Amino acid sequence: MINVLFSALPARWDVYGPALNEAFTEAELNVALSTDHPPETVDYIIFAPNGPVSDFTPYTGCKAVLGLWAGVETVVGNPTLTQPLARMVDVGLRDSMVEWVAGHVLRHHLGMDAHIVNPDRIWNPQAAPLARERRIGILGLGELGTACGNALAALNFDVAGWSRRPKTIAGIECFDGNAGLDAMLGRSDMIVLLLPQTAETENLLNADRLARLPRGAVVINPGRGPLIDDEALLAALDDGQVGHATLDVFRIEPLPPEHPYWDHPRVTVTPHIASTTRPDTSARVIAENIRRSEAGEALLHLVDRRAGY
Ligand code: NAP
């Protein structure tokens, strides 16, 4: 019997419990799934940062911690975590991010706002340029950034992306390194931030880098709030250097009611909804990782603790 502890928001148990048990049965794993196994008996922890476990010390027999979230910034530096940590890579998480990013890119590309709210009944028959004339830059070419880049390229957008290590992706012009970032920013009418939050990426989008964007560029951030220097972004919005910012993630969530982003006429706030782990598909990812671990195979989606993602 494999003892698996579910440590996420208690409210998620009702949907995750059945989905996980079904996935374990499908994978022919003999699992006892619970929210309260005695720590020393636990073989695997299914983990969300907002669940009850934050000290991994008592889980002396735990073979791996299997995250339900894509972002690991709140757990990767936990000194009590000595077990391997896998993060969530899930088709549902990926597809919802692609849909959110494509929707917000198309909103700005087509200038939809002018027609959705038009109290003065202005008849302005100016058509949008074609997608191939619109340059999109994606910061982060991982699971989500690459999927979004591919989807936007399939819509004919002129897509570039930036990553830590050099990459070659058909249909996406790939940049890396500091010089690559500057070059990519300079050619991006819209940028989409899909980087993890690490020591290296915090405040990455600062005043200097915002100034490198073409004037009036759009910033779309479904990555993490601390990727952006908020003061610098507000200044760039006020000055017109940034035409609009669509922000899904913030340093403090929920975004405090007094935060200037709420009132800014050129900011759209969405409440961290770009993408979420889906119980049915993510349960299969968890089951596959337990199957692998039990069979002595390498875990999928292992976090590089030194890189922080
Ligand atoms: P991932 O597969 O780990 O990809 C991360 C990408 O960022 C990689 O391309 C990586 O480069 C690049 N990167 C990391 N550090 C960098 C640096 N210092 N300089 C340049 N590039 C760097 O992550 P993912 O699954 O795509 O997820 C990305 C982020 O999306 C998550 O970390 C999370 O914060 C966020 N997210 C948000 C939501 C939401 O609802 N808003 C939902 C899910 C995820 P390499 O390819 O060279 O490693």
Q: Tell me how far the alpha carbon of residue 214 lies from the centroid of ligand 1, in angstroms.
A: 24
Cβ–Cβ < 8 Å for 139, 162: yes
Cβ atoms within 10 A of the Cβ of 176, count?
16
**201-228 average pLDDT score:** 98
In the chain, the amino acid numbered 242 is: V
Alpha helices in the chain (DSSP H): 13-26, 91-110, 113-116, 143-154, 177-186, 207-212, 230-239, 260-263, 279-294
Please name the residue whose Cα sits nearest to atom 19 of ligand 1. 164
| pLDDT for 244 | 98
Question: Ligand 1 pocket: which of 144, 181, 247 to mutate (most atoms <8 Å of CB)?
Answer: 144
Q: Would you please indicate which residues are annotated as catalytic (active-site) residues?
A: 224, 272
Pocket of ligand 1 (CB under 6 A): 70-71, 93, 97, 140-145, 162-165, 194-198, 200-201, 222-224, 248-249, 272, 274-275, 309
Q: What DSSP designation does 10 have?
A: G
Cβ atoms within 10 A of the Cβ of 162, count?
26
**137-148 average pLDDT score:** 98
Q: Tell me how far the alpha carbon of residue 152 lies from the centroid of ligand 1, in angstroms.
A: 17
pLDDT bracket for residue 270 (50, 70, 90): very high
| pLDDT for 68 | 97
| pLDDT for 269 | 98
In the chain, the amino acid numbered 268 is: T
pTM: 0.97
pLDDT bracket for residue 43 (50, 70, 90): very high
Domains of the chain as residue ranges with CATH: 2-90+277-294 (3.40.50.720), 94-269 (3.40.50.720)
Q: Tell me how far the alpha carbon of residue 127 lies from the centroid of ligand 1, in angstroms.
A: 34
| pLDDT for 74 | 96
- For residue 18, give every residue at least 6 positions away whose Cβ sits within 8 Å of its Cβ, in sequence order, or none: none
Q: What CA–CA distance (Å, rounded) separates 91 from 186?
A: 32
Please name the residue whose Cα sits nearest to atom 22 of ligand 1. 164
Long-range Cβ pairs for the range 78-84 (8 Å, 24+): 78/54, 80/55, 80/56, 81/56, 82/56, 83/45, 83/56, 83/59, 84/299, 84/302
Question: Ligand 1 pocket: which of 150, 195, 301 to mutate (most atoms <8 Å of CB)?
Answer: 195
Q: 284: alpha, beta or left, given left = phi > 0 and alpha = psi -120 to 50?
A: alpha
The pair of three-digit structure tokens given for residue 245, joined into one six-digit string: 């910012």
- Measured at the CA of 191, the angle between CA 188 and CA 197, to 5 degrees, comes to 135
Cβ–Cβ < 8 Å for 68, 47: yes
Please name the residue whose Cα sits nearest to atom 2 of ligand 1. 142
**202-207 average pLDDT score:** 98
Q: What CA–CA distance (Å, rounded) separates 138 from 16?
A: 32
- Work out the mean pLDDT of the chain and round it to a whole number: 98
| pLDDT for 304 | 97
Positive or negative, the CA dihedral 16, 19, 21, 24 is negative
Please name the residue whose Cα sits nearest to atom 37 of ligand 1. 223
Q: What CA–CA distance (Å, rounded) separates 16 from 8?
A: 9
